Amino acid sequence: MKWFKTSIIKTWVVACAAGISLTAGAAMAQDKELRIGYQPNPIQDASIAMMEKWGAKNGVKITKIPNSYGVYVEKMTASLTSNSDQYDVIWHNDDWGQLWAHLLEPTDDIESLKYADKWGMAGIIFNNAQGQNTVVPMGQTFGVFYYRTDLVSESELPRTLDDLVKISKKLQAEGKVKFGYVGGMAMNHTWFTWFWSMWSNNCDVLLPVFERANAKLAANNWKSALEEPCMRQAAEFWWDAINTHKISPRGMPAYDRNEANAVFMAGDAAFTVGDSVYWATFNDPAKSKVAGKVNITFFPLGPNRNEPMAWNDIWGWAIPKSVPAERKALAKRMLSDMMLDEEGQRELWKRTGAPPPNKELWDKIAKDDVFMQQLKKFNLDVTNKVRSAYYFEKWPGVHKAFSDAVIKAVTGSREDIPKALAAGASLVTNAAK
């Protein structure tokens, strides 16, 4: 028995010693390690590949910590507010710019940020209350209007929403395609139907239209644009597209982007709006029946607008405030060097179709890349671009209230559209306050 007790004590002593030495070892190695919190996605994978290349060259271990997209914001928010030392660099997005600004390390001192696109880095999105920037871009993401080149020639492209209906109906009548347009419509896929059609009609979620300065929105009492005639036109357009003209599937109000993309890639729709990074997927013969028959163009315009519309955001990296100073410096050095890594950024472009973070490379890539030329023409070089989100803490709730209202409008009867929008207007305003 005595032997048994002694051996248990010995085992515990050895285990504790091993534990302490492991902890100490890990602590010593921490100076040469950077832990990356991210969501597995082509852009982030390509960007992390650049980090790994940098790490190998500089003797820094890059540890990848993947997180599910479905819980990314809540999980990362909990990590940031608890000051945990779990991540040194995290994926950051324009939608959460103002949620996390006070929890992130300012990055103004990263010199190579001067090469970043100014539009995507605007202070209104990522600056903290002291006016300091908190992000380093990893790539540009935005929606584009895709069309089938085997069905529609360049001269026949829809310039207006009315054209979109007419051309779709013609293609359907000729038996060339099942649907004219398909796009994600359910909450959190609003950009692929509601937002683009609304912005193309000079409409928006809140008033004044296209205003993003929070002070001005607050001064206007966070008034919703749901009751504006332009929004009614947008809602009626989709209602008619689904129910009257039948150019879009009846199930579309419940579609996420994956379901909409599946319809387009199956060859069942002539037009769609999707992220530019789906260019490679749409053109992959292993996944898509329309590979090699896809191109992009300007968004069709509503009756209230006559100049092209586009939006363009960055996905980026950020450094939590709670990270120790030495690792902050190391992370900044890595992110700065990545902005200068031309080979890595060209690879990111090739793998994803996302314009790289260093804007100076855009023209270089466009010299011999047709798709980059198209992206520049139809998006990056468009003047009067639209900001694709709002930048205040309650935006997620406002977005949800807006989405609920417009989906209720499009799934009810046509006569009830004004009623549904009016009911949603007060909910949007209340969610914003």
Partner 1 sequence: MKVLGQSRRRFGEQERFMLLLITPAALLMALFQVLPIAIGANASFRDWALNNPKKTWVGLSHYIDVITDPAFLQVVLPNTFLFMAVSVAGALAIGLCLALVLNRGFRGQKLVQTMLLLPLMVAPVIAAIMMRWMFNDQFGIVNVVLEAIGIEGQPWMAQRWSAFGVILLTDIWLWTPWFMLLLLAGLQSLPKEPFEAAAIDGTTSWRVFRYLTLPMLRPVIVVCVVIRSIDAFRTFDIVWTLTGGGPARSTELFSLYAYVHAFLNLDFGKGSAAAIVGAVIILVVGLLLYRLMDRVMKV
Query: Which positions lie near partner 1, rule CB under 8 A?
Result: 71, 73-74, 77-78, 80-81, 99-100, 102-103, 186-187, 249-254, 259, 262-263, 266, 268, 393-394, 396-397, 400, 404-405, 407-408, 411, 431
If one counts every other C-beta atom within 10 angstroms of the C-beta of residue 232, the result is 17
Residue with tokens 């890639």: 265
- State the Cα–Cα distance between residues 279 and 23, nearest whole angstrom: 46
CA distance 231 to 56: 53
CA-closest candidate to residue 308, choices 381, 372, 228, 208: 381
Nearest distance from C-beta of residue 82 to partner 1, angstroms: 10
Smallest Cα–Cα separation from 163: which of 181, 178, 146?
181
d(CA 423, CA 428): 9
Tokens at residue 83, please?
């000051």
CB of residue 432 vs partner 1: minimum separation in angstroms? 11
Can you give the C-alpha Rg of the chain in angstroms? Answer: 25
Q: How many CA atoms, within 13 angstroms, populate the side-chain half-sphere of residue 366?
A: 14
By C-beta, is 16 or 254 nearer to partner 1? 254
H/E segment holding residue 65: strand 61-66
- Residue closer to partner 1 by CB (options 242, 361) is 242
Q: Which is nearer to partner 1, 63 or 82 (CB)?
A: 82
Rounded least distance, CB 430 to partner 1, Å: 10
Burial class (CB within 10 angstroms; exposed 0-12, middle 13-18, buried 19+) of 8 = exposed
Minimum Å distance from CB 312 to partner 1? 25
Measured between alpha carbons, how far is 330 from 388 in angstroms, rounded to an integer?
Answer: 32
In whole angstroms, how close is the CB of 222 to partner 1 at the nearest point?
Answer: 15
Residue 77 or 172 having the CB closest to partner 1: 77
Which of 155/258 has CB closer to partner 1? 258
Distance CA 140, CA 314 (A): 4
Shortest distance, CB of residue 254 to partner 1, whole angstroms? 4
Among residues 132, 130, 129, which one has the least CA distance to residue 121? 132
Cβ of residue 251: shortest distance to partner 1, in angstroms?
Answer: 3
